[in-house]
């Protein structure tokens, strides 16, 4: 069959626009001032064949099958494209996001180990949010480990493992394992949200248009109430909002959206994003809500004229960074954002403790109570990020001149109102661990241990009648403080004899944290849905607890059977090993999600592999 003659000009053909075929210049090219070029049609090479076809009806322009097979010059080209999807998604013929080292679909369904790619993985064309051009994996990992860290960071555990005697020549080379993992993967994939979120994410640019934000909100309108319920059920311990008042504002928003400003809209979108994650939707769906929240926040004067809504929005953004993937990179970035939140809160005067009498000015009383609870949530977030990153707290020294509970009258003494009473003490501990030049003495450790446990008993007793999430997070909060408080002296080779309080307290708190991890990640039937999201911000604390327990098990002569006080018996060695095995299985499931979790799993596997030889 002859090729169809091309009659349109080259410019209209390339832009796929209709051409009126005027010569010497069509109307579109003439109007645009462009040169109009018509292609020269090639001469008909098969003119004799066409004439033959016209003369003889029996002869056709289409060759017969016999002629096709006998034509030696004709080549049948076959498409040979690289299969970019993973083998499992390609076999099932479903869409694959091609994420490394494991795509989201395989990771979500628990097939992380079966997710493989047949094509050669090329290095990323553009650098990640924290990788500078020219830096190799060894430089990236080395600079991260060389950062100034206090003794609350788990890096001290790696130093202790290297110095253990009696292990011969251990294969535990944590630096080489980390470098190898970063060479094989892209550390920018450790962040479900960009590393610079919530400041300048390129994904938030489309949502700077109000119609685009409106379209996004309308698309989630039928699920908005479900997202809100999931958020309040899973994150009730933060107490950022007066639930009834916020739900009333949401109801008014859907009727009169034009009356609400961007500051309120930014915090509402962040709440919807966390609620969407809690309901189990895909990360991409929740991320769009976070990016829209970031775009709305960027259009407000939050940096020099902050409001309570701005502080709440930034707080929710930090929660989102930690809930998505609480990797080393994400937590380091969170510590930087929390520092800004603390400074903006102090600039607003949130740390002021004055609250009027409830009967005199009830409206001002309610507002002051909410501001105080927001400040308590900010301080708690700062303590948690400082503990896990080993960095100094940006809180000023005079932030705790007054007790957080002294001026709040008429409130029930629940765990959320009792925990702030420990902030001055924990802040002092953080200062001694991460910023002080002098090493904290064992006498100081014992004093702090007594005070922390006193408040811990009151808070846990007050949380008995509250939700499972509230009870568990309260216990985790104090256990991780005690774990880092006793870490230095508990790792001493002769700690059971010289520093018994630190030794037994460290072992007790580490085992308690591992048990909490197993319970929260197991998704038992008695637990609320997606409670594992609450455990995500504590992943590195669970990792440090498991690594510390392995160090205790590596010492053959270390005692493991006694009671701490009278109510916390230490289980037998075999039970501890079985608990660590279940913990290792959890990290194995998470290892395909990011380079950070994969590196941690390899480190722990190597250390745990040494435990049976030392305990035989």
Q: What is the pLDDT of residues 3-21, one digit of tens each?
A: 677 888 888 888 888 898 8
Judged by average pLDDT, the poorest of 23-27, 233-237, 324-328, 331-335 is 324-328
**Residue 58 DSSP SS3:** coil
Model confidence band, residue 375 (pLDDT cutoffs 50, 70, 90): very high
Using alpha carbons, select from 404, 505, 527, 377 the residue that is nearest to residue 450.
505
Model confidence band, residue 51 (pLDDT cutoffs 50, 70, 90): very low
Instruction: Identify the pLDDT of residue 133.
Output: 44
Percentage of the residues of the chain whose pLDDT score is greater than 70 = 75
25 belongs to a structural domain: yes
Using alpha carbons, select from 320, 351, 256 the residue that is nearest to residue 537.
320
113 belongs to a structural domain: yes
Residue 110 belongs to a domain with what CATH number? 4.10.240
Which domain, by its residues, includes 6?
A: 1-39
What's the structural domain count of the chain? Answer: 2
Q: Which residues contact 299 (CB under 8 A, 6 or more apart)?
A: 208, 262
Mean pLDDT of 591-608: 82
Instruction: Identify the pLDDT of residue 6.
Output: 81
Judged by average pLDDT, the poorest of 115-129, 155-169, 515-529, 565-579 is 115-129
Do the Cβ atoms of 393 and 152 come closer than 8 Å? no
The first and second tokens of residue 558, run together, are 């270390």
Measuring CA to CA, how many Å separate 240 from each of 243, 416, 500, 577? Answer: 9, 11, 40, 40
Of residues 451 and 185, more confidence is placed in 451
Instruction: Identify the pLDDT of residue 22.
Output: 87
Is residue 106 exposed (0-12), middle (13-18) or buried (19+ Cβ within 10 Å)? buried
Instruction: Identify the pLDDT of residue 58.
Output: 43
Q: Which long-range contacts (CB under 8 A, 24 or more apart) does 2-5 make?
A: 2/44, 2/46, 2/50, 2/61, 3/42, 5/41
Distance CA 613, CA 582 (A): 19
The phi, psi pair for 229, rounded to 5°, reads -65, -40
Query: What is the pTM (predicted TM-score) of this model?
Result: 0.74
Whether the pLDDT of residue 276 is over 50: the answer is yes
For 84-123, write each residue's pLDDT tens digit: 888 888 888 888 888 877 888 888 888 877 888 877 655 4
To the nearest whole number, what is the mean pLDDT of the chain? 79
Provide the greatest CA pair distance for the chain.
Answer: 112
The first and second tokens of residue 27, run together, are 């109307």
530 belongs to a structural domain: no
Instruction: Identify the pLDDT of residue 493.
Output: 83
Measuring CA to CA, how many Å separate 194 from each of 128, 145, 184, 188, 275? Answer: 9, 22, 20, 8, 19
Instruction: Identify the pLDDT of residue 288.
Output: 93
183 belongs to a structural domain: no
Instruction: Identify the pLDDT of residue 190.
Output: 53
Q: Which residues contact 421 (CB under 8 A, 6 or more apart)?
A: 403, 404, 405, 455
Distance CA 4, CA 390 (A): 72
Residue 26 belongs to a domain with what CATH number? 4.10.240.10
Using alpha carbons, select from 535, 540, 602 the residue that is nearest to residue 184.
602
Judged by average pLDDT, the poorest of 384-393, 428-437, 466-475 is 428-437
Measuring CA to CA, how many Å separate 195 from each of 191, 393, 613? Answer: 6, 21, 41
Mean pLDDT of 235-246: 87
Instruction: Identify the pLDDT of residue 182.
Output: 60
The first and second tokens of residue 481, run together, are 């403080």
Model confidence band, residue 251 (pLDDT cutoffs 50, 70, 90): very high
Do the Cβ atoms of 290 and 320 come closer than 8 Å? yes
Mean pLDDT of 542-568: 73
Instruction: Identify the pLDDT of residue 318.
Output: 95
Do the Cβ atoms of 392 and 149 come closer than 8 Å? no
Instruction: Identify the pLDDT of residue 93.
Output: 87
Whether the pLDDT of residue 565 is over 60: the answer is no
185 belongs to a structural domain: no
For 152-202, write each residue's pLDDT tens digit: 777 778 777 777 644 444 444 555 666 566 655 555 555 568 888 999 888
Locate all alpha helices (DSSP H) within 523-572, ordered by sequence: 532-535, 539-554
Mean pLDDT of 63-80: 50
Whether the pLDDT of residue 335 is over 80: the answer is yes
Model confidence band, residue 311 (pLDDT cutoffs 50, 70, 90): very high
Whether the pLDDT of residue 30 is over 60: the answer is yes
Percentage of the residues of the chain whose pLDDT score is greater than 90 = 29
Sign of the alpha-carbon torsion through 294, 299, 303, 309: negative
18 belongs to a structural domain: yes
282 belongs to a structural domain: no
Distance CA 186, CA 302 (A): 33
Whether the pLDDT of residue 397 is over 50: the answer is yes
Is residue 607 exposed (0-12), middle (13-18) or buried (19+ Cβ within 10 Å)? buried
Mean pLDDT of 428-434: 89
**Residue 569 DSSP SS3:** strand
Mean pLDDT of 237-246: 87
Instruction: Identify the pLDDT of residue 183.
Output: 57
Please state the three-class secondary structure of 509-526 as a single string: HHHHHHHHHHHHHHCCCC
Distance CA 198, CA 191 (A): 13
Distance CA 130, CA 194 (A): 10
289 belongs to a structural domain: no
Distance CA 478, CA 373 (A): 19
């Amino acid at each position: 069959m002859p090729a169809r003659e091309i009659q349109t000009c080259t410019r209209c053909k390339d832009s796929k626009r209709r051409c009126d075929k005027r010569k010497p210049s069509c109307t579109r090219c003439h109007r645009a001032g462009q040169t109009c070029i018509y292609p020269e049609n090639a001469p008909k090479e098969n003119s004799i064949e066409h004439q033959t076809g016209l003369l003889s009806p029996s002869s056709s322009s289409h060759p017969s099958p016999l002629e096709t097979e006998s034509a030696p010059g004709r080549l049948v080209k076959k498409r040979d494209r690289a299969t970019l999807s993973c083998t499992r998604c390609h076999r099932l013929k479903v869409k694959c996001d091609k994420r490394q080292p494991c795509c989201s679909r395989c990771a979500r369904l628990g097939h992380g180990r079966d997710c493989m790619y047949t094509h050669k993985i090329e290095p990323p064309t553009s650098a990640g949010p924290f990788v500078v051009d020219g830096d190799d994996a060894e430089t990236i990992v080395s600079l991260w480990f060389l950062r100034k860290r206090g003794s609350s960071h788990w890096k001290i555990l790696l130093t202790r493992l290297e110095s253990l005697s009696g292990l011969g020549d251990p294969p535990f080379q944590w630096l080489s394992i980390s470098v190898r993992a970063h060479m094989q993967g892209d550390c920018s994939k450790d962040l479900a949200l960009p590393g610079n979120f919530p400041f300048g994410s390129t994904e938030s640019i489309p949502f700077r248009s109000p119609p685009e934000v409106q379209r996004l909100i309308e698309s989630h309108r039928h699920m908005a109430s479900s997202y809100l319920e999931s958020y309040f059920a899973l994150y009730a311990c933060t107490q950022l909002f007066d639930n009834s008042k916020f739900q009333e504002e949401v109801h008014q928003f859907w009727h009169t959206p034009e009356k609400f400003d961007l500051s309120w809209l930014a915090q509402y979108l962040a709440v919807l994003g966390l609620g969407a994650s809690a309901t189990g939707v895909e990360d991409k769906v929740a991320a769009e809500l976070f990016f829209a929240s970031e775009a709305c926040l960027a259009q407000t004067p939050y940096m020099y004229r902050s409001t309570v809504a701005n502080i709440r929005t930034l707080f929710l953004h930090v929660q989102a960074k930690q809930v998505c993937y609480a990797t080393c990179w994400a937590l380091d970035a969170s510590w930087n954002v929390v520092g800004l939140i603390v400074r903006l809160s102090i600039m607003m005067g949130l740390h002021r403790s004055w609250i009027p009498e409830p009967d005199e000015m009830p409206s001002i009383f309610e507002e002051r109570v909410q501001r105080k609870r927001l400040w308590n949530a900010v301080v708690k977030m700062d303590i948690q990020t400082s503990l896990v990153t080993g960095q100094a707290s940006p809180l000023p020294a005079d932030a705790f001149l007054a007790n957080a509970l002294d001026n709040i009258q008429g409130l029930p003494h629940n765990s959320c109102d009792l925990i702030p009473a420990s902030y001055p003490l924990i802040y002092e501990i953080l200062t001694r661990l991460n910023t002080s030049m002098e090493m904290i003495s064992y006498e100081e450790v014992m004093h702090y241990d007594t005070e922390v446990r006193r408040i811990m008993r009151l808070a846990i007793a007050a949380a008995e009648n509250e939700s499972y999430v509230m009870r568990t997070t309260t216990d985790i909060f104090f256990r991780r403080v005690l774990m880092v408080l006793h870490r230095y002296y508990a790792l001493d080779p002769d700690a059971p004899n010289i520093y018994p309080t630190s030794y037994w307290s460290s072992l007790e708190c580490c085992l308690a944290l591992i048990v909490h991890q197993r319970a929260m990640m197991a998704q038992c039937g008695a637990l609320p849905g997606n409670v594992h999201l609450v455990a995500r911000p504590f992943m590195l604390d669970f990792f440090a607890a498991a690594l510390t327990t392995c160090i205790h098990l590596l010492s053959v002569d270390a005692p493991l059977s006694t009671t701490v006080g009278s109510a916390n018996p230490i289980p037998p060695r075999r039970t501890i090993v079985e608990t660590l095995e279940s913990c290792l299985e959890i990290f194995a499931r998470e290892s395909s999600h990011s380079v950070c979790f994969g590196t941690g799993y390899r480190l722990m596997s190597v250390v745990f592999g040494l435990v049976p030889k030392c305990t035989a």
